[in-house]
Amino acid sequence: MTDDLDAVLAMHDELIARRGIEIWVGAEPTFTRADSLDPAWTGAAEGDDKLARAYSVAMHLASTLPNACVSRVLGRQYPGEDEPRFAFGVRWNEGMLAEPAHPHDPIDAPPRTPPTELGSDRWLTVTPDPGVVELNMAPSPSARELSRQAHHLWESAAQAGLSPLRYRFNGDVADSGGGGQLTLGGSRPEASPFVRYPHVLPALIRYLNNHPSLSYWFANECVGSASQGPRPDEGVRERWDELGLALSWLEKLADRGDLAPETLWQTLGSLLVDASGNSHRAEINVEKLWNPHIPVHGPRHGKMGLVELRAIRMPERPGMLVALAALFRSIIARLVVAHYRAPLVDWHDELHDRFALPSALSRDLRLVLGDLDEHGLGLPAQLRRELECWRAPGVMCRLGDATLEIRPALEFWPLVGDVASQERAGARWVDASTQRWEISSEGLGPERIAIAGRWAQLRPIADDVRAIGIRRRIYQPSPGLHPGLPVTDPLVIDWSFGGRAQRIELHAWKPDGGPYAGLPRDDEDALDRRRDRIRITTRDGDVAAHKFWHESRPFTIDLRRELIAHAAP
């Protein structure tokens, strides 16, 4: 961690502390073996060399922390698994005089029950999850401490040969696949901001609903109702209608001083769920807020005052994680110091249309940051730059002074089959064959472009930005939806400006066909494969196109519909 970042985080922590608000934060970064296609590193919980690498992470962590020791503890046991998963615990104490660590070698020791009382000690665990090694960080009272711990974790994972991301055969970059949730609470259950200030949780639900960037800007590729953290308005309509009523009632109780934490949990626990009714897989997970029905590790395990935010992918580096934690700490503090009772926005189709586009999300995130500025809780520029890095950059094309940017957008992949039938499985099948791109121009640039030979009008979307989203099928999935429906590859985009024209061809796979020679070796190899899939030619002249595309939504052109419309009878 650089001195500059440490100073910036100290400023943020001071803003929170000055208001007398305690907001602890925890995280669950996940790392994978990016060079392996073994099931243990693609979808299975255990196997291959996962135990050895997890052990290496734990031991290296212990060597970087004061007075640390490592122990073998009982891991979780999920339905259908014959025995508990392995787990290593790392225990240390930062308040004591730091001494060289001499961690006990626990790899062959019989697992013990995790400690229930820690005193002033800190505790984190290293455990397996499908495709990854998961590190459950010790909750931190400040962004500075979270940053120090995160840097140790990333360093320890790297020395064990584990990565926060992986490359696909075609060079595309993906996160580790295990998620990177944040947990917010306090030093003890009663000190949690959601218990100490009962109006804050209803306000947080309203705030996230009304700012879709907080749901999608930091999320992984799988968003929407089939994701690991769906929004409340991505579920059934009846439940969404009841949520608005519930929030109003909870706020009335909070204003009267009569809102107990058990009432918060009882009211929201059955409304903040995924499509199958699972309260763990929801964007805002309250199962450990004040839940008396979780007996693991003692009767208070569910009554911890915790709220978990799950619509978060695994970040590439510690600075991104810390910036995100600072953002949500500032949001919580803003909701403490000033009521937020704005009505829930019913986004309807706009949620998966306009807010699928990064330009719309970027504008919404700027509104959030502006709101924090107005309440004296704004984030410094260095942290804002880290927040910008959560969405991938695009391809910038130029004709004279005009620009056209082509950028990956969000796609909302549907679940294949019945949700309930997949509920007990380690992973769920989604149809990931559809890809969406945003094509945008800011300032000087075209008003319309040609997609596969037809005009598409760019729509005003944010400030001086005009954009349109293009959906296409990039492979035929099995199992999947629409058997036999053809793919559209490459995606061909034509535009012109000032007497010059340009054609961009975006290939989903190797342009010349055939297989790739294994996974990319490194960053450069992956970048070369991505560049090879983008073909740009420039010429004098204009673009000749005739008809306009029929837009299924205001900001979306779905090329699959055209394939169906023009299919042979």
Instruction: Compute CA 83 distance to the chain's CA centroid, rounded to the nearest angstrom.
Output: 30
Same domain, 4 and 94: no
Using a 10 angstrom Cβ sphere, with 0-12 exposed, 13-18 middle and 19 or more buried, the burial of residue 440 is buried
Same domain, 19 and 63: no
Residue 142, domain member (yes or no):
no
Residue 360, domain member (yes or no):
yes
Check residues 276 and 174 and name the one with the higher pLDDT: 174
- Final residue of a domain: which of 358, 392, 426? 392
| CB-based burial, 128-163: b 16+ in 10 Å, e otherwise | bbbbbbbbbbbbbbbbbbbbbbbbbbbebbeebebb
Return the pLDDT at 298: 47
Residue 206, domain member (yes or no):
yes
Same domain, 339 and 441: no
- Backbone dihedral region for residue 393 (phi beyond 0: left; psi -120 to 50: alpha; all else: beta): beta
Residue 543, domain member (yes or no):
yes
Q: How would residue 102 be classed by pLDDT, with cut points 50, 70 and 90?
A: low
What Å distances lie between residue 460 and 18, 199, 432, 456, 464, CA to CA?
A: 41, 37, 29, 13, 7
Residue 229, domain member (yes or no):
yes
Residue 92, domain member (yes or no):
yes
Same domain, 213 and 260: yes
pLDDT at 55 over 70: yes
- Final residue of a domain: which of 374, 392, 410? 392
Q: What is the pLDDT of residues 281-290, one digit of tens each?
A: 899 999 999 9
Same domain, 222 and 258: yes
What Å distances lie between residue 432 and 222, 323, 475, 504, 552, CA to CA?
A: 8, 30, 9, 24, 20
Please give the average per-residue pLDDT across 487-501, as a whole number.
Answer: 97
Same domain, 371 and 269: yes
CB 408 within 8 A of CB 394: yes
Same domain, 59 and 14: no
Total count of domains within the chain: 3
Same domain, 192 and 166: no
Q: What is the pLDDT of residues 150-204, one digit of tens each?
A: 999 999 999 999 999 999 999 999 999 998 999 999 999 999 999 999 999 999 9
Q: What proportion of the chain, given as a percentage, has pLDDT over 70?
A: 95
Same domain, 350 and 452: no
Please give the average per-residue pLDDT across 208-222, as a whole number.
Answer: 97
Same domain, 413 and 385: no
Return the pLDDT at 424: 66
Whole-number Å distance between alpha carbons of 282 and 92: 32
Q: What average pLDDT is seen over the chain?
A: 93
Q: Which domain holds residue 503?
A: 395-565
Same domain, 156 and 215: no
Give strand ranges (E) for 121-181.
122-129, 132-136, 165-167, 173-175
Same domain, 209 and 167: no
Return the pLDDT at 196: 97
Residue 335, domain member (yes or no):
yes
Residue 224, domain member (yes or no):
yes
